[in-house]
Homo-oligomer: A and B are copies of this chain.
Amino acid sequence: MGAAPESFFQSRWVGRPEHVAERAATDLARGFRAAGVAAGIKPSGDLDVGLLVCEEAGCTSDARFTASGAPAAPVSLTRERCELGAIRAVVVNAGNANAATGRPGLENAAKMQGAASMVSGVPERQIAVCSTGVIGVPLPMDEINRGILGCAHALSSEGGASFARAIRTTDALDKQVCVEVSLPSGTVTVAAQCKGAGMISPKFATLLCFVQTDAAMSAQTCALLLGTCVKRSFQRISVDGQLSTNDTVVLQASGASGVPVEPETEDELRLGEAIDAVMRELALRCVRDGEGARRVGRVIVRGGDPDGVERVARAVADSPLVKTALYGGDPNWGRIIQAVGLALPTGDLVPPIPIPIDIAIEGVPVCSASSGVGHDAQALAAAVSRAEVEYEITLPGEGAEAECYFSDLGHEYVTINAEYTT
């Protein structure tokens, strides 16, 4: 157990919580074994089938899925057939999304689940199935089965690195971490493996994230922690406003540490804080890894209308005009006003005076009551050419707040997405 040479927590917007210590990123929590093998699904020949198994029969869990109206077969299957509070194993392939594959796709997802059950001894209903890659192509089942069998032979507490590599597609940045969390009741471990370059989908860079802990807690606690943390992390990022058919996030608790985490205790609070920091940093890393991204933006919107601040935050984060300005290192607040106006449509209403909107970039007020404010343009241009840029927008009213993290939009995004063929 050595400290990582460079901290996992790289964003100024997250930070390592006080009670958290970093371990080698590829470590797993007690009670988990994993593996990843090359089964010939990725044309590159890289690792492409992964298996993660909890040895504890009493493993608890929860999962969240894409909100897409056209979910991939593994998502439909896992949602319908799994005991989401007792997922013991996860079987994953990369290189083929098994999406838009009709009934044969559902049957193939079921076969993946069956094969993983056969080799691991875990009941089918406790195995989550995930796929990521190209949409609309039948899953190559011979390769899948060979991969699952290979994983079964390779399963190990040292298998975190190969599992993490097997779930990746276009990711350039590593998205794996292991931390120790000091709780009043004892020390527990949290490990996570994630993939996703860009919000989701450029080049079908679906978001998959698997989080494991050896804390002992109920499925209800898993659901509470995962629900809260997903809302603050993966639900708050955007690279291109797209939505994958395959997004899946799973939290599992083996209990192997023997440290109980009871509801509404300091233990639960600290563990939640750790999982939150891990998932937010992973989410930010997905944004930072967005195809061609140079910079990450954070927009915070405050005002009196909860729906309004949410819509405005999304509109700014998804605006190609704001994103290209971020890419160009241009503090172009006129485009932000434009995005705010898009999210707050008047329809046929005629407001007597414009809605007063305040905008600050990197703490510098640039717009007050919808009118430009004099500022040091040179200093601001320097500030927005750094790796992280913060935008604060204030609408009328108080009490509501929403934030979004987003990547810029640059030439590399176009190159990658215009030249990639199904």
| A interface residues (Cβ-Cβ under 8 A, vs B) | 66-71, 76, 79-80, 97, 99-106, 134-138, 198-199, 201-204, 240-245, 318-321, 324-325, 327-328, 330-335, 337-347, 350-355, 357, 367, 369-372, 409-411, 413-415, 417-422
Q: Which residues of B contact A346 (CB under 8 A)?
A: 67-69, 71
A367 → chain B closest CB, angstroms: 6
Q: Which residues of B contact A324 (CB under 8 A)?
A: 413-414, 417-418
Please pick, from B321, B338, B371, B418, the residue contacting A68 in the complex, using a CB distance under 8 A: B338
Given known pairs A99-B334, A337-B135, the reply for A203 and B242 (CB within 8 Å) is no
Q: Which residues of B contact A371 (CB under 8 A)?
A: 100-105, 136
Which residue on chain B has the smallest CB distance to residue A106?
Answer: B353
A153 → chain B closest CB, angstroms: 33
Q: List 25 A-B contacts (CB under 8 A).
A: A68-B342, A69-B344, A69-B355, A70-B370, A97-B334, A99-B337, A100-B357, A100-B372, A101-B372, A134-B334, A136-B337, A136-B367, A136-B372, A137-B372, A201-B335, A203-B342, A243-B338, A245-B341, A320-B413, A321-B417, A330-B418, A330-B420, A331-B422, A410-B414, A410-B418
Contact yes or no, A241 B320, CB < 8 A: yes
Contact yes or no, B418 A325, CB < 8 A: yes
Q: Which residues of B contact A203 (CB under 8 A)?
A: 342, 345
Given known pairs A334-B134, A372-B100, A414-B409, the reply for A71 and B354 (CB within 8 Å) is yes
Q: Which residues of B contact A320 (CB under 8 A)?
A: 202, 240-242, 320, 409, 413, 417
Given known pairs A338-B135, A338-B242, A371-B100, the reply for A414 and B327 (CB within 8 Å) is yes
A174 → chain B closest CB, angstroms: 24
Which 10 residue pairs spanning A and B have beta carbons closest together? A135-B334, A69-B344, A102-B371, A70-B341, A328-B418, A68-B341, A324-B417, A243-B342, A136-B372, A67-B345
Given known pairs A69-B343, A70-B370, the reply for A136 and B334 (CB within 8 Å) is yes
Contact yes or no, A325 B100, CB < 8 A: no
Q: Which residues of B contact A106 (CB under 8 A)?
A: 353
Q: Which residues of B contact A327 (CB under 8 A)?
A: 414, 418
Contact yes or no, A201 B245, CB < 8 A: no
Q: Which residues of B contact A410 (CB under 8 A)?
A: 414, 418
Which residue on chain B has the smallest CB distance to residue A292?
Answer: B414
Which residue on chain B has the smallest CB distance to residue A318?
Answer: B241
Given known pairs A333-B422, A354-B76, the reply for A70 and B344 (CB within 8 Å) is yes
